[in-house]
Structure 1
Amino acid sequence: MKSETIGDATFETWTPDEVEQAMKAGEIVLIDVRTPQEFMFEHIEGALLMPMAFFKAQALPGQSDKRIVLHCGSGARSEKVSRATVEAGLRTIAHMEGGFGAWKTAKKPYIGTDMSTGAPKKVA
C-alpha cells in the first residue's frame, strides 16, 4: 500500500490484492463510487454503493472497527472522492488503485450479469 500525508490526514492507495485480503479478513468496508447502473451490471461482492454524484463524506461510517476503501471503474473517481473526504475532515481514507478494471485484470471474483437471463452470477 502506498501512503501519502495530506496535512494531518493519511491518504492510502491499495492494490486489488490488498483489498481482497482485507475483505476476506473482515478488516475493511469497500465502497463503490460508480453509478448504480455500473454497479448493477457488475460489482465486487460485498461492496457497498455510494455513487460519486451523491457522495457525502459525513455519511461515511466511523473507522474504529473497519477501514474504508473506495473504488470505481479505473481509480480516477475513487481517488477524487477520497481526496474530497480528506478535505471534508476525515483523517484516514483509502482507494483501490486501478479500480474495478484492475480487480478484473487481476482475475479477482466479482458479481456479473448473465447476459442470457439478466440475472446476477458469480464470475471468477
Structure 2
Amino acid sequence: MVTKRVWLMLAALIILPMSAAACGFGEKSAEGYENTAVQHAYQHWNQGASSAVPFVFIDVRTPEEYAEGHIEGAMLIPVQELAERISEVPKDVQVYLYCHSGRRSANAASMLAKAGYTNIENLLGGITAWKEATHPVVKP
C-alpha cells in the first residue's frame, strides 16, 4: 500500500511540471518574455472582462493578414510599426502577441521586453495554431 502511494506521488511530481510546461508556463526566454501555448492564451481570452488579470491581444501581422481573420478584440500593431507605436501598448496588463506562426511576434516581444515591459507572452504557433485548435477568429 505504501509503495503504491509512493509511486503515485512520484508520478504526480513528474507529470505536473510537464503539464505546466505544455500549457506554456515557465518558458521564459532569454529576451525577457514568455512563450505560451495556445490553450493557455485561449483560456485567458475566453474569460474576457471577468478575468482577474487584465489583458490585451496584439496582432503584429500586416493589415492585409489581419483582415483575413484575427482574434476577436485584438489590437493591430504591425511589427514594422511597433517601435513608433509602442506607447499604445499598455504596461499594466498581460500582453499576448501573435502573428502567423510566432516568429514576428517573438521579435515584437523582444522589443517590448527591451523597452521595460514585463508581462509579455508570445503565442507559440501564432494565429495558425489558434485556428488549428478551432478557436474563433473574426473578419472585419
State TM-score, norm by structure 2.
0.70
Other-structure match for 1:60 = 89
Structure with bigger helix share is: 2
Superposition pairs for residues 90-109 of structure 1, below 5 Å? 90-109=117-136
Amino acid at match of 1:15: A
> Please, which moves more after superposition, 11-20 or 28-37?
11-20
Structure having the higher Rg: 2
Gaps of at least 5 residues in structure 2 are 1-23, 49-53
**Which aligned pairs between 1:1-124 and structure 2 lie closer than 5 A?**
1-2=24-25, 3-4=27-28, 6=30, 10-26=32-48, 27-56=54-83, 57-63=86-92, 66-112=93-139
Q: How many residues align?
A: 109
Q: Which runs of 4+ in 1 moved over 2 A?
A: 56-59
Query: Is the Cα contact below 8 Å between 2:61 and 2:77 reproduced in 1?
Result: yes
- For 2:110 and 2:76, how far apart are their aligned partners in 1? 18
List runs of 5+ in structure 1 lacking aligned partners: 113-119
Q: Report % sequence identity.
A: 33
State the TM-score, normalizing by the size of structure 1.
0.78
Q: Where is the strand percentage greater, Structure 1 or Structure 2?
A: 1
RMSD over aligned Cα atoms: 1.8
Answer whether contact 1:32 1:71 (CA < 8 A) is retained.
yes
| Deviation of the 1:48 alpha carbon | 1.1
